[in-house]
Amino acid sequence: MTAQQFHERVSELDLTGRSFLTIHDFSPAEVRALLDLATALKVAQKRREPHAVLAGRAVAMIFMKTSTRTRVSFEIGIEQLGAQPMFLSANDVQLRVGETIKDTANVMSRYVDCLMIRTFAQKDVDDLAKYGQIPVINGLTDTHHPCQGMADALTIREHCGKLEGAKLVYSGDGNNVAHSLAEVGAKTGMRVVICTPEGYGPDMDIIARAQADAAQTGATIELTSDLQAGVEGADVIYTDTFTSMGQEAEHDVRLAALKAYQVDMDLVRRAGPQVKVMHCLPAHWGEEITEEVLYSPNSVVFDQAENRLHAQKAIMAAVIR
């Protein structure tokens, strides 16, 4: 596909200038179109076809939380699209410390064409988008991980051949990843089952919005504490670390509470030979997942990690002017 064809496809999406804060903000058709664009960009890269559709642009990456996959996938993706990446750590940009979010948003809008931010509070991301004049991409907050959710949907579609009707079972803590999986599942017609112990469930306001979206697409969003029953017939089993960044002091308590939600080979066999196993990484062997499962034939974890690159490139190509 030529650069011109990419530009035409992006124009058809009509997402230019939009911020990517949560998956809930986008229609089912827009989510599908972004996934299709991600696939096209992935094919172009594999074929070594140039696709520098953002030549002359600049993207600032603000990291209030450290990262491996987010940093590498965004920086490489920005360069592959022909734009200039700029990394800013928490020591470089101290949001709400010394300068207001409003001022930061207005100043950065004069320098760069897009902001990607990985931070703690969703409000910081929302406020950057509210006060700035450029698209803001949510690289992760404590309540949402939308770029991960898009990469996950791309991976499921590749390995299961569909999203509509696919059964995704999430096991563990009802965290930001669980929220974004519920949202992308609702937009794409999936059957999402979130399995968590009492006291570790997802935010019910986010789930309620996802269930409302699901009613429009034929998707289902189910909450349960019964993991063993939940995984039967699953197309995908998904887990994430039991202790997220900032919760280190709770590690032992959380590990004890979530122990029964570990993804091991017994759970994989219960789901059936068709099941794919996913994890957004980093993985903690012996806690939420075993090494045996992570490197089993059922695992698509590293395909999933790769797809962060392609999904994020699609988002940037679609929203940056």
Active site residues: 118, 145, 148, 240, 280, 308
Nearest to 234, CA basis, from 280, 165, 299, 286: 165
Nearest to 270 by CA among 300, 299, 228, 222: 228
CA distance 270 to 162: 22
- The token pair at 26 is 């986008």
CA–CA separation, 160 and 122 (whole Å): 32
Q: Are 247 and 287 in contact (CB under 8 A)?
A: no
Distances (CA, A) of 267 to 168, 262, 275, 307: 14, 8, 10, 25
- SS3 state of residue 174: coil
DSSP code, position 203? P
Helices (H), the chain: 3-13, 28-46, 69-80, 101-111, 122-131, 146-160, 176-188, 204-217, 227-230, 251-258, 265-271, 291-294, 301-319
d(C-alpha 292, C-alpha 190), whole Å: 27
Picking from 235, 319, 321, the residue whose alpha carbon sits closest to that of residue 37 is 319
**Residue written as token pair 């004049």:** 133
Tell me the C-alpha to C-alpha distance, in Å, between residue 213 and each of 148, 163, 220.
Answer: 19, 15, 9
